[in-house]
Amino acid sequence: MKIVNYSLSINMNVSTTQPFQIIYSLYNHEFLGYLFEAYVVQVDGRGKLTFKHQHISVENADDFKEGLDETDFKLIALMDDLRQDTIVKKHNPSGKKITVGDFFLKVFDKTKGDKLLQEQLESYVEAKKNAIIAMIDDKMLFEMGSDGEPTHRKITIMKDKCTVLFHFRRNEDNTHYFPTIKFQGELIKFQYKNAIIINNKPARLLLEGKLYSFEKEVDGKKLKPFLNKNFIDIPRKVEETYYQKFVTQLIASFDVYAKGFEIKTDHLQAKPIITISELQTVQQPVMSLFGGEDTNTVTEIDDKIIFELSFDYGKYNFSASNAVPATVEMEKTEDSYIFHKVKRKMQWEKECILLLDQLGLKLRNAKCTLPKTEAFQWISDNTVSLLEDNFEIKQNILHGKRYFIGVSSISLDIKENHDWFDVKAIVKFGDYAIPFSRIRRYIVQKKKEFELPNGEIAVIPEEWFTKYSSLFAFMDSDEETLKKHHIALVQELQNGNLAQVTMNNKLKQLHHFEDIEDYPLPVNFKGQLRPYQKAGYNWMLFLKHFNFGGCLADDMGLGKTIQTLAVLQYEKETGNQGASLLIMPTSLLYNWRTEAKKFAPELRVLVYSGINRVKRADLFAQYDIVLTSYGTARIDMDILEKYHFNYLILDESQAIKNPSSQIAKEVVRLHARNKLVLSGTPIENSTMDLWSQLSFVNPGLLGTQAFFREFFQVPIEKQQSVEKMKKLHALIKPFVLRRHKSQVATELPAKVENIRICDMTEEQSSIYEKEKSAIRNEILDVIDQTSVNKSQMLILRGLTKLRQIANHPRMCDDTYQGNSGKLEEVIEMIQNAVNNGSKILIFSSFVKHLAIVKDYLQMQHIKYCYLDGSTKDREEQVNNFQKNEAIPIFLISLKAGGVGLNLTAADTVFVLDPWWNPAAEAQAIDRAHRIGQKRTVFIYKFISSNTVEEKILALQQSKLKLSQDLITIEENFVKSLTRNDIAAIFE
C-alpha cells in the first residue's frame, strides 16, 4: 500500500529570501479519500511557479510568514489535523504505540476492520475538509499528480451552485434511476469523465479542473455510483420496498422527475403548535376553590414545564428541530404508485421561532423549559398574541390532569376609608371568576395550583406571588381591608399600575413630609425649634392626625426630647385631655424632668419611680406627663394598664428590640390614643429590632414576626437582598424620621477620630500568644465536632478573655505585676490632655479596665467622676463634671453611659477598647459631640496591635451587610462569623 510520507527535509528546499508562493494541493489517500496538503513553491523571475516546492505545516509556517496571511495559518492548522500521524494519535483506540501503516491496515481490513472507527474517521475527515473548503475560495488550489507533484493541475472553485434532478423511469420489468446535473442552467456531462467526489456531506464534485458544489446539499454517496454508470436498474420484484424506503426520502429532499408513477405536491395550510408537558411529577394534594370542602387531586409542586414547537401541515406534523423541507407518503394504486409530497414553509417557520424568541420563549432544539409558575405566567401574558398569529397550545396529559391554558388576570381597586383601605379585587382564569379571599389564601401560603369547576388545574402566575404577596400578607384576615399605615404598599401598587387607587391628597403627603401641614408652635412653649426640629414636630402631629404611630430616630444629640415636649405642650393647649406616659431607662428620668421644666413649665410632671411612689392609676389624671422607667413599668403593669393615656412614648426604645423579652411583651398591654418611640439606634443587632418597635407603634405594619423573619429578615441579612431592602424601606419610610447630625446640625464643630495602635509589652505579648493558641485549638475542635452556631458562647468567652489581656493582663489575673502597653499609652495621653486643660470622657466596655485607670488617677491625685451600672448618684456625677473645671476626667462604662447624658463640657473622648457594635461607640462619643458643644471634639480609640482588637475592627466592616439607608444596622457580630472568620481571628 501507499502511505504518504509527511516527514520534513532537514535542509530547506524553498528559500525564504527568494520569492515563493503558498499553494494547496488535493491528493487521494488510499483509506481516507481525498485530502488537502499545504506547500510553498519557489517562484521564478517571471512570477511563475517552479518545481521547487516544500511541504508546510504548523512546525515551519513561521519561517514563511512573510508570504502568508491569517487565513493561510488557519488552513495549515486544519490540514495538519488531517496528517496521518495526527489522526493516529487522536483515534488510536488502544493507546498503544503503532505505526501509521499498521493502524490503517487494521482499521480498514475488509473482514476484521473496525466499522465504528471507520465511521468516526469519515465524520472527522469530512468536518475538517468542509472547514477547509469554506476558507480556500481565493487561494491557489491544485490537483496533485501521480508522481507527487503538488501543482499538477489547477483547480477552479465555482462560485455558483449546481442543481441535481433525480430521474425515475418505471418500465414493465424494472425502474431506471439516474441523476442529471445542471450548472447555470446548462446540462453537465459528468459520467465517464474521470469526475471525483471529494466530499460527501455535502457533495463536492471535481470535474475537468472545476470544483462544483450543490444546492440542497446533496449527499455525494447518491452521485458516486453514476460517475462511471449511466443508470441503476431496480428489478420489479423489489420496487415496492425500494420505492418505500428510498424513493420517498429522495422525493422529500430533492427534485425528482418520474415517468411511470405520479408525484403530487400538496400545498397545505400550516399551523404552529406549542405542546406543553411536565418534566417530572411529585404527587401532592391540590385544593379546590369550589364546591364547599376542598378536594384532593394530584398536582406537581416546583416542577418544570417543557414547551415544544412543531408545525401541523394538514394531517402531517413536523418538529421545529427537524429541518427537512418536506415529507412524502407513498400510495399504491392498482397498477402504479402515487407519491404525496408536502412541502414545508421553511422561512415562515423561522419567523414563528423568531416571534417566540421575541416573546421571551428561547427555544433550543425546538424546546424550552421553564419553572411551572413562570411557564403559565408566560402563557397568560402571551395567549392573545399567540392566537392572533394562529398558534395553538396543546398539552400532554399526565395522571389524568389537564391544565388551564389561557388568560389569567387580577385587577385591584383600592379606596381610602376612615381608618383603612377597602380592597376590591376581580380574579379571572378565562371565564371563571375566582373568589378573591381564596386566591389570596393561596398566594400567602405559597400554594400554586388549584382545581377549576371543569376539572382543569389552574396555576397561579409567578408575577402574582412577587407583586401581590406582601399586599395579601398584610390584609386583614377576615375583611378585604388594609390598614391605612400600609400606604407605602398602596402607593407602590398605584405607581406600578397594579391597582386603581382612590386616596386623600393629604394622606399622600405622608411620603413627602417636607410638604406636611405646618402646625403652629404652642404659645407657652419656652424655646425655639431649629428648622429640622420643627419639621419633626409637624411630622409627629401629622401622624397623630391619621392615628399613626412613629419612630423619631434622629442622631443622638439632635433634640428628640425637645421635639417631643413641644408636641405634648401642643396637646395640652389644643384641649386634648389625659396624661401621657413616657417610659425610659432610669438614668433619663432626671433629664426629662429637667428638660420639661425648662421648655414646657406648664406641663404637670409626675415622676412615677422609686420605692415611695403612690401606686394608684387614678392619680395620673392630675398630670400631663407621667415619667417612669422600664423596670418600674414592668413591675407596675397591672396599675399602668388601667389608665388610658393620651400618648404612650418609649424613649431609648431599643429596650424593646427583642420581641420575646418580658418588657416587650408587657408594654403592649398599655392603652393610649397615640404612640411614639424615640431612639438614636432603633436597629442595633438585626432588623427584628425594628419589627418589635414599629409593631408596637403601628400593630400589623410589618406583619407577624414569623412573616417578617421569612419575608424581610432572612433575605436582607442572610441573602443581602436589595429588592427586599427597598420594599422594607418603603414600608417604614413614612413612620421613621431619621436625621443625621451631618445633615442638619451644620453648626456643630468638627469631630476628629484617631486610632492609637499600642504595642503590648513583652511579658503581656507572651501571655496573650499562649492563651490565644489554647483558645483557638479548643474552639476549632468544638466547631468541627458540632457547628459554629453551637459554639457561640465558647467563642464569645474566648474573644472576651483575649480582649482583656490585650487591655491589661491584670483583668484576668489579679496576681499579674507587669505592665500593659495600652495602659502606658493611655497614661501618656491623659497627662498631655490634662496639662493642656482638656476635659476627657474615658469609656470602656470593662469595669475592671476603668478600675485600673482609676487606680492610676488616685495615685496621681487627679480628680475624676465615675459612672457605671451600680452608680447611685448619677445626676451628681454628671453635674460635677459639667460644672467643675477642676475635674478633668470622667470614667464611664460604655453600657451605662451610652445614653441620656449631656457632657458637652468634654472636648476629648477616649475609647479604651473596641465594642462589638460600632453604634454603641457612636452613642458614647455623642455624649460630648451634641448640640451645645462649641469646640472640636477629639476621639481616640486605643487598639493593641496584632490582637483580636485589630481583627474585630476589620471584620466588623466586612460584616456590615445591610445598607445604612434603611436606618443604621449591624448584623449580630458573633452569629455572623464563619469557621474561616474564627480561624482568622485567632491566628
Task: Identify the DSSP state of 340.
Answer: E
What is the Cα–Cα distance from 744 to 534, expressed in whole angstroms?
12
pLDDT at 708: 87
Contact 279, 306 (CB under 8 A): yes
Helix (H) or strand (E) holding 271: strand 270-278
Contact 168, 231 (CB under 8 A): no
Residue that has been written with the C-alpha cell 493507546 in this structure: 95
What is the Cα–Cα distance from 66 to 74, expressed in whole angstroms?
15
What is the Cα–Cα distance from 627 to 609, expressed in whole angstroms?
8
Contact 231, 219 (CB under 8 A): no
Instruction: Tell me the three cell numbers of residue 894.
Output: 460604655
Residue that has been written with the C-alpha cell 496639662 in this structure: 835
Instruction: Tell me the three cell numbers of residue 879.
Output: 453635674
Instruction: Tell me the three cell numbers of residue 222.
Output: 447518491
pLDDT at 772: 87
Measured in whole angstroms, how far is the alpha carbon of residue 215 from the centre of its chain? Answer: 49
Phi, psi (deg, nearest 5) at residue 285:
-70, 140
- Provide the terminal-to-terminal Cα distance of the chain, rounded to the nearest Å: 72
Long-range CB contacts (< 8 A, 24+ apart) of 70-79? Answer: 71/135, 71/139, 72/22, 72/38, 72/139, 74/135, 75/24, 75/36, 75/38, 75/132, 75/135, 75/136, 75/139, 76/38, 78/128, 78/131, 78/132, 79/24, 79/35, 79/36, 79/37, 79/38, 79/132
Nearest Cα residue to 162 out of 139, 140, 184 = 184
pLDDT along the chain (987 residues), means of 10: 39 80 93 93 90 92 92 94 90 83 88 87 92 91 91 93 93 92 93 92 93 90 92 92 90 89 88 86 44 38 82 88 84 90 90 93 92 87 89 82 82 67 75 77 78 84 72 65 57 53 55 72 91 91 88 83 95 91 85 90 93 92 95 94 96 89 92 92 82 89 84 84 83 84 62 77 91 82 70 78 91 90 88 81 90 92 89 84 90 73 80 72 66 71 84 58 39 54 63
Contact 275, 396 (CB under 8 A): yes
- Give this prediction's pTM: 0.52
Instruction: Tell me the three cell numbers of residue 265.
Output: 405536491
Nearest Cα residue to 271 out of 311, 323, 328, 214 = 311
Strand partners for 278: 305
pLDDT at 278: 84
DSSP-assigned letters across all residues of 371-439: EHHHHHHHHHHHHHHHHHTT-EEEE--BTTB-B--S-EEEEEEEEE-SSEEEEEEEEEETTEEEPHHHH
What is the Cα–Cα distance from 235 to 253, expressed in whole angstroms?
24
pLDDT at 54: 92
**Residues near 883 by Cβ (< 8 Å), separated by ≥ 6?**
905
Contact 736, 694 (CB under 8 A): yes
pLDDT at 176: 94
What is the Cα–Cα distance from 693 to 70, expressed in whole angstroms?
71
pLDDT at 6: 41
Query: Rounded to a whole number, what is the largest CA-CA distance in the chain?
Result: 134
Instruction: Tell me the three cell numbers of residue 876.
Output: 451628681
Contact 587, 896 (CB under 8 A): yes
